[in-house]
Each structure stands twice: as C-alpha cells, then as structure tokens.
C-alpha cells in the first residue's frame, strides 16, 4: 500500500532574513529541485506532514520554534527521519557541530552547510538528503505492504481455522449418529442368530450352526466397535466441567463399575496416599478403566497378574502410573498404539484398538499428557501427567 504525501520530494526553505529565501529558492529551482518558502512557525507542521527536507538558515533555527521542531522530530514514525539542512556562518559552524542533537533531540538528522554559500554545495547537499529521504518513503511503503500482508494472512488463517473446526464438529456429529444408529440393527442380527441357535440348534447341520455362531460373534464385535467409537466421539464433544478428584476413590469406583476388571480385586496394589488431581471424573474413570482393562487383557500367560497404581509429584503436575507385569510392548509400537484403531499385529486378544486413543483424548482434554514405558516381555507402565487438585478449576469446550 503506497501513501503519497504531496510534499514528500519538496525542500521547505525557512530563511527569514533579507533576500536569503529568494536566493536559495532560485538556486534550488534552477537545479530542478522542488522548493517552497516557509515560515519558521510552520517548520514543525512540515515535519508532521512528512515533507522532503527542511533547509533553514541559522537565524531561523535560533528562534523559539526550536522546541516545537524538536517535538515534531520526536513524533515521527519509526521509518522517518526528515533531513534538516542548516545554513550557518563559517564562524558558527563549530558551535553548531556539537549542538543539533542538544537543540533538536536524538531524532534530528542535521546537515550543516557553511557560508559563504556556493550554489553547487547547497544543491549537492539538498539532492543528497532528498534521495536519502526517498529511500525512507520506500521503506515506509514496504513496511505498510508487509503489515497489510500479515493482516490478510491472519484473516485467512482465522477463516480456515473456523472452517476446519466446523468440519471437525460435523464429522464428529456424523460419526456419533452413524455409530448410534448402527447399534439397533446389529443387536437384531445378533439376537436372531442367537434365537435360531437356541431354538433350532439341535436340528441344524453343523455347518449352519458354525455360520450362525460366526454371524453372532461378528455382530457382537461390531457392536463393541460402535460403542467404542461412540465413547471416543462423546469425549470430543461438549463441555467438560473440572473438579478436584480423589484418585483413590476413582480407582475403587472404576474396578467396581466394570465386570471385566474383577481380577484386579486381588491383583491390584494402590500405593497410598494417591495425590488428588483436577479433572473431569467420568473421563478419568473411562481412561483408567481402559488402562486397567488392558492390564488384565494383556497379562502374561502363566504369570499371576500384578498391577500397581501410584502417584508422584513432578514439578507442578501429578504423575499417575499404572504399572503391570504383562506381555509388554515393543518400542516401535509405542507411539502408534495411541492412535485410533491401531493395535499390535498378531495378538489373539480381542479388542478394537480404540481404548488407548480414548485414554489420550480424555487426558489431553484435561490438560494432561500420557506416555508409556515398556519393553516386550517386561510389563508396561502407562503414565498420565495431570494438573493437581490445587490448580484452578476450568471448563473446556
Ligand atoms: P485394544 O485393547 O482394543 O486392542 P487399545 O487401544 O486399548 O486397543 O490398545 C492398543 C494396543 O496396545 C493393544 O492391541 C495392545 O497390543 C497394546 N497394549 C495396550 N495396553 C497394553 C498393555 N497393558 N500391555 C501390553 N500391550 C498393551
């Protein structure tokens, strides 16, 4: 964006005594330089209006206008340093040499030209400051362009983010309703397969019985998958109200709530006391039930299950560890298994590959992180880092 100032290439000449102004104007104009005579009281105004340069005789700058001129220099935008040429007497040039910044401040840009004035010296000085001034205007234009570009980029990023968020919300609501609606026909398929098996099992040829059992198992697996997808999408939707959570109570409740965790009633050790955390109760129960459920599912055959839940403070975070003595996980799978539908290949244990994705999502929604320490054959430790109960309660949408 270019801003054109009408006088950006004009030298304003302030010379109050005798024929000085007339002579200077004549010399400059003869050299093709645009020049206009101005009064000392107008000099500060020309700085504000971003003129090309000021040419002032010594007598003009010794007036009381110096202060307002110094203030105008100070007010200039960062890219601007209007040149000021002072025409001084030879005797006074040494005095002036140390004076300009004292009189006009640090933002002044002063060139001294001594009398007796040679036309060529004055013309060369004015041409040189005007061309330096032109570069300042170019710099200003570049800065303006860059600012405009940044502003338009910012707007584009905001628009795209809004569109993406809308798309994600649509996808979430779509997968939620699909999973929800899928469950009814699935239950009917599983139900009828079971009815045929129960009522006509004895009359069926073995092959048909096998097929029906497969139908029933697949429908059940599909039902489990839709339930897990529902749980995952439910986590991503809506508000989470945070509250201080008593982890000992939450672990106890989780084990009582889920029948598949029954083996933990004897196999679980809780290292008391557990620190309290700030979070969303149902999400934490869900995450813990998945971690504890995996500890049960992936136990080492022939080795009595042992699971330890403990907490530890790490900086301003609570580290909640769930450690098992199960089959362990090879390093190469550590990152992958937290993604939805990802499982370690070749395992017989049933599952959908959504459990750890739910853990990750729920912990992240509680401003926490999840990590894993494990080696194949040496058990696994899942570590959740969560804000302590003392942190400010918040609501996440
Ligand atoms: P699922 O349990 O339904 O397969 P998850 O997302 O909960 O899905 O787990 C992904 C994979 O991570 C599992 O299939 C398993 O290979 C591995 N895994 C998870 N927890 C454990 C554990 N405690 N011990 C050994 N392997 C585990």
Ramachandran area for residue 320 (φ above 0: left; ψ -120 to 50: alpha; else beta): beta
Q: What is the pLDDT of residue 90?
A: 77
Q: What is the DSSP track for 25-48?
A: HHHHHHTT--EEE--GGGHHHHHH
Ligand 1 centroid to residue 397 C-alpha, Å = 29
Adjacent-strand bridge partners of 371: 383
Is residue 162 pLDDT above 90, yes or no?
yes
Residue 327 CA, closest ligand 1 atom number: 25
Residue appearing with tokens 């009815």: 195
Determine the average pLDDT of the residues in 307-323.
Answer: 96
β pairing state of 240-241 and 395-396:
antiparallel
The structure tokens listed for 263 are 């083996």
Least confident of 3-17, 31-45, 314-328: 3-17
Beta strands 35-37 and 11-14 are: parallel
Span 22-43, average pLDDT? 95
Instruction: Tell me the mean pLDDT in the region 160-175.
Output: 88
Report pLDDT digits (tens) over 47-90: 999 999 999 998 887 656 788 888 999 999 999 999 999 998 87
- Ligand 1 center to residue 7 CA distance, Å? 75
Neighbour tally for 6: CB within 10 Å: 9
Specify the long-range contacts of residues 32-41, CB closer than 8 Å, at least 24 apart: 33/123, 33/126, 33/127, 33/130, 34/9, 34/10, 35/10, 35/11, 35/126, 36/7, 36/10, 36/11, 36/12, 37/12, 37/13, 38/12, 38/13, 38/14, 39/14, 40/14, 40/16, 40/65, 41/65
pLDDT at 93: 72
* Best probe residue, ligand 1, of 325, 356, 370, 379 (max atoms within 8 Å of C-beta): 356
Q: How many Cβ atoms from other residues are within 10 Å of residue 214's Cβ?
A: 11
- Residue 333 CB contacts under 8 Å (≥ 6 apart), including other chains: 344
| Mean pLDDT within 92-104 | 73
Q: Read off the pLDDT of residues 202-247 as tens digits, 9 standing for 90 and up.
A: 898 999 999 999 999 889 888 888 888 888 888 877 778 899 999 9
Phi, psi (5° rounding) for residue 36?
Answer: -135, 140
- Nearest CA, atom 8, ligand 1: 353
What's the confidence (pLDDT) of residue 397?
Answer: 47
Protein residue whose Cα sits closest to atom 14 of ligand 1: 343
Q: Over pLDDT 70: what percentage of the chain? A: 96
CA atoms of 394 and 397, how far apart (whole Å):
10
| pLDDT at residue 176, rounded to an integer | 81
H helix runs in 237-305, sequence order: 247-257, 264-267, 281-297
Q: Is 229 in the pocket of ligand 1 (CB under 6 A)?
A: no
pLDDT digits (tens, 9 = 90+) for 221-230: 888 888 888 8
Q: State pLDDT tens for residues 318-367.
A: 999 999 999 999 999 999 999 988 999 878 888 889 999 999 999 999 99
Q: What is the DSSP letter of 11?
A: E
104-135 pLDDT tens trace: 888 889 999 988 889 999 999 999 999 999 99
**pLDDT tops 50 at residue 27:** yes
């Amino acid at each position: 964006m270019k801003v054109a100032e009408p006088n950006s290439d004009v030298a304003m000449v302030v010379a109050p005594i005798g024929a000085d102004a007339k002579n200077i104007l004549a010399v400059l104009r003869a050299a093709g330089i645009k020049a206009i005579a101005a009064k000392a009281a107008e000099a500060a105004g020309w700085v504000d209006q971003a003129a090309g340069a000021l040419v002032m005789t010594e007598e003009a700058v010794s007036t009381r206008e110096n202060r307002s001129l110094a203030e105008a220099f100070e007010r200039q935008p960062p890219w601007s340093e209007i040149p000021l040429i002072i025409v001084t007497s030879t005797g006074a040039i040494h005095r002036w040499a140390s004076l300009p910044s004292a009189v006009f401040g640090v933002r002044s840009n002063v060139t001294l030209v001594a009398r007796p004035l040679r036309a060529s010296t004055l013309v060369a000085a004015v041409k040189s400051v005007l061309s330096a001034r032109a570069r300042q205007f170019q710099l200003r234009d570049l800065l303006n362009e860059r600012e405009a570009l940044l502003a338009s980029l910012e707007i584009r990023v905001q628009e795209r983010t809004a569109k993406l968020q809308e798309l994600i919300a649509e996808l979430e609501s779509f997968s939620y309703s699909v999973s929800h609606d899928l469950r009814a026909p699935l239950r009917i398929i599983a139900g009828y397969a079971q009815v045929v098996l129960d009522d006509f099992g004895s009359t069926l040829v073995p092959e048909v019985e096998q097929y029906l059992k497969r139908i029933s198992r697949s429908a059940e697996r599909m039902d489990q998958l839709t339930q897990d997808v529902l749980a995952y999408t439910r986590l991503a939707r809506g508000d989470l109200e945070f509250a201080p959570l008593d982890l000992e109570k939450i672990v106890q409740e989780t084990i009582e709530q889920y029948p598949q965790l029954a083996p933990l009633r004897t196999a679980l050790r809780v290292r008391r006391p557990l620190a309290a955390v700030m979070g969303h109760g149902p999400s934490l129960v869900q995450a813990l039930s998945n971690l504890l459920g995996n500890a049960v599912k992936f136990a080492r055959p022939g080795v009595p299950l042992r699971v330890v839940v403990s907490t530890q403070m790490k900086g301003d975070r609570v580290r909640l560890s769930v450690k098992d003595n199960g089959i362990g996980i090879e390093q190469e799978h550590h990152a992958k298994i937290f993604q939805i539908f990802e499982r370690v290949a070749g395992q017989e244990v049933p599952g959908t590959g959504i459990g750890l994705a739910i853990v990750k999502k729920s912990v992240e929604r509680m401003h926490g992180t999840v990590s894993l320490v494990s080696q194949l054959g040496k058990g696994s430790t899942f570590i959740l880092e969560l804000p302590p109960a003392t942190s400010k309660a918040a609501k996440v949408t």
